[in-house]
Amino acid sequence: MGLNNKQFSELIDVSKYNLSKYYSGSLNITKATINAIIANTGINKEWLLTGKGEMTAKPPRTYPEPDSVSTAAEPALSYGYREKYFEVLEENRELNLEIKELRKKLEQLASDVEVIKKGLRND
């Protein structure tokens, strides 16, 4: 796919540390990670798990080129799509972290509400 380990780990939303552990065999790969690889790369699940069949389940994703772009500019445009993809991926990761923090806060608030309710019942 032409990705380095950092880019691949971001693509499948796994830390570089865990990716390294997966490669070395010192950490078992999770079903969620397998699903992320399949969903984000087009790798055939059967091939990934058993080595049988075709490596790719579907053709790699491509982006339509505007009619006005010359062939000399196409590689730069393709690179722009790729960079934008990783930009959006990073934004998504940051939003997911924010969502996790908000969920923790909501859980704490719900717990606080229960404590207050119990206190009111006892009074």
Q: What is the pLDDT of residues 63-121, one digit of tens each?
A: 444 444 444 444 444 556 667 777 777 788 888 888 889 999 999 999 999 999 988 88
CATH of the domain at 7: 1.10.260.40
Query: At 18, is the secondary structure helix, strand, or coil?
Result: helix
- Give the residue from 61, 81, 99 where a domain finishes: 61
- Do residue 40 and residue 94 come from a single domain? no
Whole-number pLDDT of residue 80: 62
- Do residue 13 and residue 56 come from a single domain? yes
- Do residue 71 and residue 48 come from a single domain? no
Beta-ladder partners of 56: 43
- Do residue 32 and residue 54 come from a single domain? yes
- Give the residue from 61, 91, 106 where a domain finishes: 61
Cβ–Cβ < 8 Å for 52, 46: yes
Cβ–Cβ < 8 Å for 12, 37: yes
Domain count, the chain: 2
- Give the residue from 61, 77, 106 where a domain finishes: 61
pTM above 0.75, yes or no: no
Residue with tokens 């000399």: 72
- Do residue 38 and residue 9 come from a single domain? yes
Averaged pLDDT, 56-64:
56
Q: For residue 52, give its domain range.
A: 1-61
- Do residue 72 and residue 119 come from a single domain? yes
- Do residue 55 and residue 75 come from a single domain? no
Alpha-carbon span 120 to 118, nearest angstrom: 5
- Do residue 10 and residue 38 come from a single domain? yes
